[in-house]
């Protein structure tokens, strides 16, 4: 097994039965390799197969054809290698912020004696150290997403999958959480696959951007900017505008 390779997608295709009874192809002949520690953004129009691919990497969907491996194994062989963050926070309303983060640790089999302190540490990392005993209904949408981010990051190691995790937030909160997440990732790099419709977001956060179009990869490009990245500085760099134009062209 190649320890430097986190995700491998080999000749993957996926179809399902449409409303008219016919077969609808979502992905076709997809080949993709994601190294350990790389931050990848998937972009593409609605229906191009981004979330389907994410769900297959998570082991929630079995490809119609081809094979996906995570650290050399089927995703279903060791689901503890995978954490998944959705567009909505999906917090349990009867659990406090800390208890929601502890849920991830329970799933991982972390002893009860360690869960409370670990969950508290993760909430402090996302700026919610003073809100550990608050319930989701007592928190703003941005704070709830921070709890979800802490819960996701508490699942140490493995692959982190994120399906438009900040799309429901206002622009200012979204930008702040993007920066906080990238800061978390830089302190403890792990492979991330991040779905977004926002090309600027993709350029700002990712090492690599992959454009899906009609079920295939139409562009796979490395982002040329050093970290940390400043939006103000990026917009003054002609390479930012060139890359943005290239990505837009690949979408259409």
- Tens of pLDDT, residue by residue over 6-38, are 999 999 999 987 777 777 889 999 999 999 999
At residue 201, what are phi and psi to the nearest 5 degrees?
Answer: -55, -45
User: CB within 8 A of 213, min separation 6: which ones?
Assistant: 44, 45, 48, 250, 251
Percent of the chain's residues with pLDDT above 70: 98
Q: Name the average pLDDT for the chain.
A: 89
Tokens representing 27 are 């992905």
pLDDT in tens, 140-159: 988 998 899 889 888 776 89
Classify 1 as helix, strand or coil: coil
Domains and CATH numbers, the chain: 5-251 (3.40.50.300)
CA 111-113-114 angle, to 5 degrees, is: 70
Contact 89, 144 (CB under 8 A): yes
pLDDT for 62 equals 92
Give the Cβ contact number of residue 104 at 10 Å. 22
Give the pLDDT band of residue 54 (cuts 50, 70, 90).
very high
pLDDT digits 0-9 by tens, 104-145 = 788 778 888 889 998 999 899 888 999 999 999 999 988 998
Residue 66: both structure tokens together: 């081809």
């Amino acid at each position: 097994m190649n320890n430097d390779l986190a995700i491998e997608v080999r000749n993957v295709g996926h179809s399902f039965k449409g409303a008219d009874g016919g077969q609808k192809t979502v992905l076709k002949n997809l080949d993709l390799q994601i190294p350990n520690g790389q931050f990848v953004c998937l972009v593409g129009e609605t229906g191009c197969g981004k979330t389907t691919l994410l769900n297959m990497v998570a082991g929630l969907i079995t490809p119609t054809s081809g094979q996906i491996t995570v650290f050399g194994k089927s995703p279903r062989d060791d689901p503890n290698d995978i954490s998944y963050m959705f567009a909505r926070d999906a917090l349990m309303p009867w659990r406090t912020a800390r208890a929601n983060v502890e849920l991830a640790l329970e799933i991982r089999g972390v002893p009860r004696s360690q869960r409370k302190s670990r969950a508290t540490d993760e909430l402090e990392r996302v700026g919610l150290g003073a809100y550990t005993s608050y319930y989701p209904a007592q928190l703003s949408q941005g704070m709830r997403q921070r709890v979800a981010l802490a819960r996701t990051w508490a699942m140490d190691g493995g692959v982190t999958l994120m399906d438009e995790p900040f799309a429901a937030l206002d622009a200012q909160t979204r930008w702040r959480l993007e920066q906080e997440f990238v800061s978390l990732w830089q302190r403890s790099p792990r492979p991330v696959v991040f779905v977004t419709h926002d090309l600027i977001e993709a350029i700002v956060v990712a090492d690599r951007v992959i454009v899906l179009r009609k079920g295939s990869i139409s562009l796979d490009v490395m982002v040329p900017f050093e970290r940390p990245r400043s939006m103000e500085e990026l917009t003054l760099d002609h390479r930012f505008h060139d890359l943005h134009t290239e990505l837009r062209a690949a979408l259409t």
